[in-house]
Amino acid sequence: MLPSISLNISNFHEYSNSILKQNGGTIIFEGPWLTNMKIVFTSNAMNVQHITSTKFENYGKGDDFKEIFEVLGDGIFRSDSHKWKYNRTLLHSVFKQVSFQTFIHKTFEAKVDSCLLVFLDHACKKGLQVDLQDVLQRLTFDNICSIVLGFDPICLSIDLPEIASEKAFNQLEDILLTRHIKPRFLWKLQKWLQIGDEKKFVENQKIIDHMVDTQIKCIRSRQSEIKSKINMQDKLQQFDLLTTIMNTEVEKKEQPNSIDDKFLRDTAINLLAAGRDTISSSLAWFFWLMATHPFVEAKILEEIKENLPSKESNWKELGKEGLSKLVYLHGALCETLRLYPPIPFEHKCAMKFDVLPSGHKIKSNTMIVYSLYSMGRVEEIWGEDCLEFKPERWISNKGGIIHVPSYKFIAFNAGPRSCLGKDISFTEMKMVVVAILLNYHIQLVEEHPIVPSLSVILHMKHGLKIMVKKRIV
């Protein structure tokens, strides 16, 4: 089966979707002899519910995932069992703090206002072609570094500087996907010989580790303040996520040995990856859909203006409460995530023998991949118009958001591993949309190709080339 995949690698998402559809939503992929490649590939919602919820304890990340995603260390996305539960509980306790939510909101709001809008205004005045995907990646990388590490690398500025750590993230993502496709012995041999993609992998990991380790040392230098807890309330506006985690553990006086530099490093890498790529990918596809569906853009703009305190109001005056009232915008974002989920595939491994609802028998240590990209295109879930972009499908007759079970709308995962940052993600995406749409009109560069990249993140292969026009109120 590997040759057919190789021939369709440039169109892998659509190819895999068509194969799944032809086979009732589940197939068993077998690689060449002696490669030990056997993967159950599914887009069946009942299978996904079974894996993520019903039999959650039987499906972990597994050895294959841990080998492929070694860069994540023992962080929340790579760990299982007790390590995962500890990571999840700790991060949940931080995320639910009102002070931390306020910090995130103000940090992102300031970044959008002082960097994103300034850059777009410059591009508008100069008549520049802009890769909006690159701009959004820079914005979210600056933001997540500020939130997690208390450090702004300033990737997004008028001259668009090349920042080594930001570039390293991009290259690592591409290599991580090739590790799924290449036979394991081949990429491991390349890693041992330090050649090809695996040499690049090590180089890029060193760049990211250096950035994170440097900031951890800065945070450690403040540890005396954390332990003494002197004037901590006065420092609320200066904290970052790693400092907050250490504060939380000091107050609980639990597992003091868990907060070592490796734990902080692994936590930081996981959160940097999550906070940068998911939001920037989602927003890039959203603005492309807006540019190709002007009637949807018009409705969103009308909704935003209706919820502003006055016609002269600044976009920031909506606040968190005003953003929560933008129902049609919320529906449009959900529809974007349905069709273009930032994580196109999820990877699990069976601990013990099991039988899926589809009837497929799963041996222990079998890799299972469920396709989020394909699940957004299943007619049985979304109807015959599943390929159409229709925000209305998310809005009830009473004007509220229709709830779709997470095992069907899988963009934020499902079951115990559901995304902790879901609400934060929606708030940040809405802030960017409101800020841009109120001030500018996005015009696509003609004949620029828009196709998904082959990566662990659903980026656009050639970026999103646009022209920025000042919106006339």
Q: How far is CA 243 from CA 225, 251, 267, 299, in A?
A: 10, 12, 12, 42
Residue 145 marked ligand-binding: no
Contacting residues for 326 by C-beta, under 8 A, at least 6 apart: 300, 303, 304, 307, 430, 434
Burial of 363 (0-12, 13-18, 19+ CB in 10 A): exposed
Cα separation, 432 vs 282, in Å, equals 11
**Alpha-carbon gap, residue 281 to 2, rounded angstroms:** 28
b/e code 305-336 from CB counts within 10 Å (16+ = b) = eebbeeeeeebeebeeebbeebbbbbbbbbbb
192 CB neighbour count, 10 Å cutoff = 9
Residues 279 and 277: their CA atoms lie apart, in Å, by 6
Burial degree of 367 (CB within 10 A; 0-12, 13-18, 19+):
buried
Q: Name the nearest CA neighbour of 247 among 216, 225, 218.
A: 225
Provide the annotated binding site for heme.
419
Provide the annotated binding site.
419
